């Protein structure tokens, strides 16, 4: 990777974040839907949850809400390029197509992580989960899980850029592919939320698993993004 690649990646990520900073529509939509999902689950599961299952439920709710809101972010970040056909201007610029992918991936991950911070606090409060007991590990799991989800999502979202029913198709195509990431992330998160089992060995295993999956997904994304977005 050359210095140029990183320069263009940073430019594209900053551009997307600046646009979001002006409109804030993705952050507000994601934040609102995420809070709603956590609230609904917390009311529905309040009396039904066995205390021993609490960490597993809390982790499941956190990642279900992430999946839901992440799809909103993915659809919108790429949808902005479709409006006014600005994707064409971007593709015609000297920016390598791989850095367009990397820039979009970084911007989507940053937006998702911003909402996940709110989600984590909500889950901590409403499910009495120990979100602050291993904060460093939790941050690592959130970052790796989000990267794994977004790395595939950006490719599918770009592929569906000109499709009429892209919102419906995005979930249907993306969710089966990201199942390994979500399972690993929620298992690791459940271990971290469990105050009775401070054993970090399974967490380290799932973190290594997430890291390997992310490397594979990102490498594939960098490779296939150009033909996918050009529609060749």
Q: How far is the CB of 150 from other proteins (least distance, A)?
A: 21
Whether 159 and 228 have beta carbons less than 8 Å apart is answered as: yes
Residue 163 touching other proteins (CB under 8 A): no
Query: How far is the C-alpha of 79 from the C-alpha of 66, rounded, in Å?
Result: 19
Options 2, 3, 22, 164; binder of other proteins; rule CB under 8 A:
22
Query: How far is the C-alpha of 190 from the C-alpha of 62, rounded, in Å?
Result: 10
Q: Tell me the site size for other proteins, rule CB under 8 A.
A: 23
Residue among 4 and 53 whose Cβ is closer to other proteins: 4
Options 53, 89, 163, 197; binder of other proteins; rule CB under 8 A:
89
Residue among 19 and 211 whose Cβ is closer to other proteins: 19
Angle between helices 135-159 and 201-230 in degrees, nearest 10: 20
Residue 94 touching other proteins (CB under 8 A): yes
Q: Which residues contact 142 (CB under 8 A, 6 or more apart)?
A: 113, 116, 120, 185, 189
Residue among 84 and 165 whose Cβ is closer to other proteins: 84
3-class state of residue 96 by DSSP: coil
Q: How far is the CB of 69 from other proteins (least distance, A)?
A: 20
Angle between helices 135-159 and 166-193 in degrees, nearest 10: 170
Residue 23 touching other proteins (CB under 8 A): yes
Query: How far is the C-alpha of 117 from the C-alpha of 129, rounded, in Å?
Result: 14
Residue 11 touching other proteins (CB under 8 A): yes
Residue 92 touching other proteins (CB under 8 A): yes
Options 13, 37, 77, 80; binder of other proteins; rule CB under 8 A:
80
Whether 20 and 27 have beta carbons less than 8 Å apart is answered as: yes
Q: Which residues contact 134 (CB under 8 A, 6 or more apart)?
A: 192, 200, 203
Residue among 12 and 123 whose Cβ is closer to other proteins: 12
Residue 162 touching other proteins (CB under 8 A): no
Residue 70 touching other proteins (CB under 8 A): no
Per CB under 8 A, residues contacting other proteins are 8, 11, 15, 18-19, 22-23, 80, 83-86, 88-96, 230, 232
């Amino acid at each position: 990777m050359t210095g140029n690649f990183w320069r263009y990646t940073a430019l594209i990520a900053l551009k997307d974040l600046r646009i979001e900073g002006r409109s804030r529509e993705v952050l507000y939509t994601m934040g609102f839907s995420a809070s709603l999902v956590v609230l609904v689950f917390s009311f529905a599961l309040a009396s039904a949850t066995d205390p021993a299952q609490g960490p597993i439920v809390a982790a499941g709710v956190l990642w279900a809400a992430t999946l839901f809101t992440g799809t909103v972010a993915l659809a919108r970040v790429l949808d902005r390029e479709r409006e006014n056909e600005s994707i064409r201007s971007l593709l015609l610029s000297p920016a390598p197509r791989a850095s367009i992918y990397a820039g979009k991936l970084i911007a989507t991950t940053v937006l998702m992580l911003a909402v996940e911070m709110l989600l984590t606090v909500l889950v901590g409060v409403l499910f009495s989960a120990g979100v602050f007991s291993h904060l460093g590990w939790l941050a690592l799991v959130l970052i790796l899980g989000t990267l794994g989800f977004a790395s595939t999502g950006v490719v599918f979202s770009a592929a569906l850029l000109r499709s009429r029913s892209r919102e419906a198709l995005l979930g249907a195509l993306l969710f089966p592919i990201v199942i390994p990431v979500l399972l690993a992330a929620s298992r690791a998160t459940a271990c971290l939320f469990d105050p009775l089992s401070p054993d970090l060995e399974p967490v380290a295993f799932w973190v290594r698993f997430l890291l390997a999956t992310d490397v594979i997904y990102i490498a594939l994304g960098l490779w296939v993004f150009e033909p996918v977005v050009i529609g060749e």
